[in-house]
Structures are given as structure tokens and as C-alpha cells.
Amino acid sequence: MKILVTGFKPFLGEKINPSELILNEINHLNIQKIILPVEFKSAFEILKTEIQNQKPDYVIMLGQASGRKNISFEKIGLNWIQTVNSDESGFTPAVGAIQNDQALALMTKFPVDEIYQKLKSENLPVEISFSAGAYVCNDLYFKVLSSYPDLKSVFVHVPLLPEQLRVNDDRPSMSFDKMVEVVQIVIKSLA
């Protein structure tokens, strides 16, 4: 059983990205890890090369979502980009479909419901989400779902870390240890 896990570098002025830190913390025999740039054009190309080389059974893509209080398992990827923020290369995409010849949304074949139920039964802070946003995370997820329809892939958004909050910042956050615990359980469940 091969599992490929990805995280992202910091973006939009942040100094850290919890998805990158989680990746640095997890170690299992059956996983490959890769840190991706927060860039529309290159993130998928880098991941595509890894998928072709590694031929994983599962792909777990991790990313940060400011404003989320739980770890969110994204059930679908939307065929849509809409952002006013440039990516880390300075590129700002036009609003519109990611791929004109594809459906508006694609659903993952990853066992999201089963994993969610397992984590919920252990009272862990998780949820199922139906929107991975309209920025690089969703762009990457949709392209993976579209290009590899039989691959069991999922995008997982994690909240901010407490140290990312600014003074009088009321956005939710989660401890790093809790994030790592959830990701470790997911990987062990698959293996």
C-alpha cells in the first residue's frame, strides 16, 4: 500500500503553513511526502510527476484554511477558480472554469465517510466539507480528480495554528499535536 501525502509552503504573507509542518512530522514506511508551492501553474505539474513516478494507492493533499475550526475532509473538487489573491509566483487567474470540458464538480473515491466516522467516534475535531474554496487548494484537487478519476485522493484542510493568530484575532485555531494525531490516524487506517 503506497500513500503519497502533500503539504504546501506558506502563502499570502504567512511565515508558516501547518500542512508543511505536519508533513515534516509524520513518518511511515509506506508514505512518500512532497511539499508543493502555492502556485496555480506548478503545484499540479509537480504532483502529477510524483503520481506517475510513485503510482500511489492513495493521495492525501493537506492545506491550510483560515477560518475553519475543524479538520475538513473535502468530498468534492469544484471546477471553478475565483480569487483576487495572486499565488506565490504573482499569477492571478481569470475567474472561470478550471477545465471547460469537465463537470462543475467531481467527487472523490477516497473513503471519506468511513474515515470521518472513525475519527468522529474518537471525538476528534473533524468534519466533511463540500467546498475546498476557489484558490490553489481546490485547483490542485480538481485537477487530480479529473486526471486520475480512479485514484483514491482527498484534500484535507487544517485550521490555523495558534501562533498564526494576530492580536485580537478571533479566527479559530487548533494545536499542532491534534492536527498530527488526526493525520497519523488517517494514514494508519489506510495502511
The set of catalytic residues is 74, 137, 157
Strand partners, 32: 4
Say if residues 169 and 66 touch (Cβ distance below 8 Å). Answer: no
Phi, psi of 62, rounded to the nearest 5 degrees: -105, 145
Say if residues 69 and 125 touch (Cβ distance below 8 Å). Answer: yes
Nearest CA among 6, 11, 15, 8 for reference residue 90: 11
Phi, psi of 8, rounded to the nearest 5 degrees: -120, 150
Phi, psi of 19, rounded to the nearest 5 degrees: -65, -35
- The bridge status of strand 126-129 relative to strand 105-107 is unpaired
Phi, psi of 139, rounded to the nearest 5 degrees: -60, -50
Which residues are CB-neighbours of 41 under 8 A, at least 6 positions away?
Answer: 89, 91
Amino acid type, 138:
N
